[in-house]
Amino acid sequence: MSEHSIYDMAYCGKTTDVKNLLSENEKLKTAKDGNGRMLLHWAALGGHDDLVRFLLSLDVPVDPIDDTDMTPLILAASAGQKDANVNVTDNRGATPLHRAASKGNIAIVNLLIEYGRNLNIDSKDADGNSALHLACEENRVDEAKLLVENGASTTLMNKQKKTPLDLASPGLTQQLKEIKENFLNLEIPDEMVAYSTKNDETLQAIRHN
């Protein structure tokens, strides 16, 4: 990615500059760089929701694949594209949630949880790591807490037989345990279980724990 290219602009969230260049050459909206990535990929990697929404408004493909079989589904989720497969994996088995959690992008983690239809929050990558494993390993405190609050397993083991808590700092481990304990102590009303479409299996498990 060369300096000052339109792909750099997308990654840095320079929406006005991107719009100006696209007004001069509309074909750039679906043009790919040397890695097979479109503007949507770079805007997604940069976490720029406004630019994502703008690009999607131009009817660019939601799930284009780059040279590593990676799609910009994080952006699709942030723009409310509920038909996108948010559990799609790259060549290392990582989902958009894995990447957002490991990079410390709390906004994208939240958007994937909020908009991701059928999101598998405990999906494992090639090393058996869930998004929570990676968040704990990188000490992404806010991301780890958000994942646990939304039902991510703290006991899931990776290929090295490590749970997320095994990879977390002592302070983060304590915080996650407290969240889990508070969650398990909640009294879940029958109507909440009946009508909840989000984390339904988690709620059912809590009620019968």
Structure confidence at residue 129 as a pLDDT band (50, 70, 90) = very high
Nearest to 46 by CA among 69, 70, 75: 75
Kindly give, in sequence order, each residue whose CB lies less than 8 Å from that of residue 30, ignoring residues fewer than 6 positions away.
38, 60, 61, 64
Residue 199, pLDDT > 80, answer: no
- Each domain of the chain, given as residue ranges in start order, spans 1-81, 86-187
Query: Which CATH fold would you assign to the domain 1-81?
Result: 1.25.40
3-state class percentages of the chain: helix first, strand second, coil last, to nearest 5: 55, 0, 45
Domain pair 1-81 / 86-187, same fold: yes
Which CATH code is given to the segment(s) 86-187? 1.25.40.20
Is the overall model pTM greater than 0.75, yes or no? no
93: pLDDT strictly greater than 80: yes
CB 123 within 8 A of CB 87: yes
Least confident of 25-29, 41-45, 65-69, 135-139: 65-69
Residue in the block written with tokens 């969650």: 183
